[in-house]
């Protein structure tokens, strides 16, 4: 469901494979701080805590942005904040850069710069609505997940109560019951829950527990009912997903297959262009050792940048 004042309307839609680039946007301030979204933030944190194992080895937050949820990962030994926007990652770095557990990585989620079987846990909240090719994204996430790794996904549902009522009343043409994704504005998608579950299964993930979230996401309701009470009600209703899924936001926990490669030794980064394992940073660069590739990637001031390779001098 589209939200008012979504800054994605102002970002670059012309990246590779149609990736939204929030570079230089005021997403943090305009979307979160100025729009009274304390309710959404708190109920999403509750859902995340219910689905994500509290402790683990290596975790990646896909589309981490300015690190809104980074303080939820205290139980993990190593945390990658991954985003396409360098500027948002710099903002996250200003908040969490002193914690050695955090690694800040800019890159394209269709070509992740990591070795296979690396992550014990994957988190993706409020970002997959920008994915034009969900199957390709899921295939890449399945590649970097460890066997039986946990994947907590939030997505915008097209089959929510408001859309159903509008459709029945003839106030919208598109059907909330049809399975295909709905692109309501450029590179902003709502998804049918069964379609999303099917794509997870196709990629090898095993969908598990689901939660319904943001039951009371209506401006008038948020104005007249205190946030604390809204959050309490939403928390009590989240487990209703086993009976119905009619909220604009759905969370689902999935597990990677039990078999598959596991990252070995100190292997961490891989060239996003050819998949070759990358070595240590030398003079601010990660160089691909593959003789047919030889691409170089930047590491500057604590930020690994895989958005595009460095140009040879």
* DSSP code string of 292-313: TT--EEEEETTEEE-SSPPPP-
Give the helix ranges, DSSP H, for the chain.
Answer: 27, 38-51, 86-96, 134-144, 161-168, 193-202, 219-224, 227-237
Distance of CA 303 to the CA centre of its chain: 19
- The token pair at 211 is 């939660």
pLDDT score for 57: 97
pLDDT tens column, 156-210: 999 999 999 999 999 999 999 999 999 999 999 999 999 999 999 999 999 999 9
102-138 confidence digits (pLDDT tens): 999 999 999 999 999 999 999 999 999 999 999 999 9
Q: What pLDDT score does 117 carry?
A: 97
Contact 109, 137 (CB under 8 A): yes
- pLDDT at 7 (0 to 100): 47
| Low-confidence residues in the chain, pLDDT < 70 | 1-17, 34, 313
C-alpha to C-alpha distance for 241 and 123, rounded to whole angstroms:
19
d(CA 29, CA 294): 39
Q: How far apart are CA 180 and CA 196, in angstroms?
A: 10
Helix axes 193-202, 134-144, angle to 10 degrees: 50
**Partners of residue 207 on adjacent β-strands:** 254
Model pTM above 0.85: yes
Please enumerate in sequence order all residues whose Cβ is within 8 A of that of 159, keeping only pairs 6 or more positions apart, or say none. Answer: 176, 177, 192, 193, 245, 246
Rounded-to-integer distance, Cα 20 and Cα 16, Å = 9
């Amino acid at each position: 469901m589209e939200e008012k004042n979504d800054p994605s309307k102002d970002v670059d839609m012309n990246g590779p494979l149609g990736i939204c680039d929030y570079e230089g946007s005021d997403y943090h301030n305009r979307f979160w701080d100025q729009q009274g979204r304390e309710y959404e933030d708190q109920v999403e944190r509750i859902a995340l805590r219910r689905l994500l194992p509290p402790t683990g080895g290596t975790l990646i937050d896909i589309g981490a942005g300015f690190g809104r949820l980074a303080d939820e990962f205290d139980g993990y030994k190593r945390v990658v904040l991954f985003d396409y926007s360098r500027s948002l990652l710099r903002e996250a770095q200003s908040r969490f850069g002193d914690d050695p557990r955090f690694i800040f990585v800019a890159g394209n989620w269709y070509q992740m710069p990591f070795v296979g079987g690396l992550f014990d846990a994957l988190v993706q909240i409020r970002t997959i609505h920008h994915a034009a090719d969900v199957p390709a994204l899921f295939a890449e996430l399945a590649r970097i997940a460890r066997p039986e790794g946990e994947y907590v996904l939030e997505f915008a549902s097209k089959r929510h109560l408001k859309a159903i009522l509008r459709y029945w009343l003839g106030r919208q043409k598109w059907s909330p019951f049809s399975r295909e994704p709905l692109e309501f504005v450029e590179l902003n998608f709502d998804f049918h829950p069964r379609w999303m579950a099917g794509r997870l299964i196709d990629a090898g993930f095993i969908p598990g527990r689901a939660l319904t979230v943001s039951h009371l996401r209506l401006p008038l309701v948020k104005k007249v009912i205190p946030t604390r009470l809204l959050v309490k009600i939403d928390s009590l209703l989240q487990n209703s997903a086993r009976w119905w899924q009619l909220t604009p936001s759905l969370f689902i926990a999935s597990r990677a297959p039990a078999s598959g490669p596991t990252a070995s030794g100190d292997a961490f980064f891989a060239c996003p262009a050819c998949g070759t394992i990358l070595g240590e940073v030398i003079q601010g660069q990660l160089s691909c050792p593959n003789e047919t590739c030889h691409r170089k990637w930047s590491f500057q001031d604590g930020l690994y940048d895989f958005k595009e390779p460095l140009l040879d001098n």
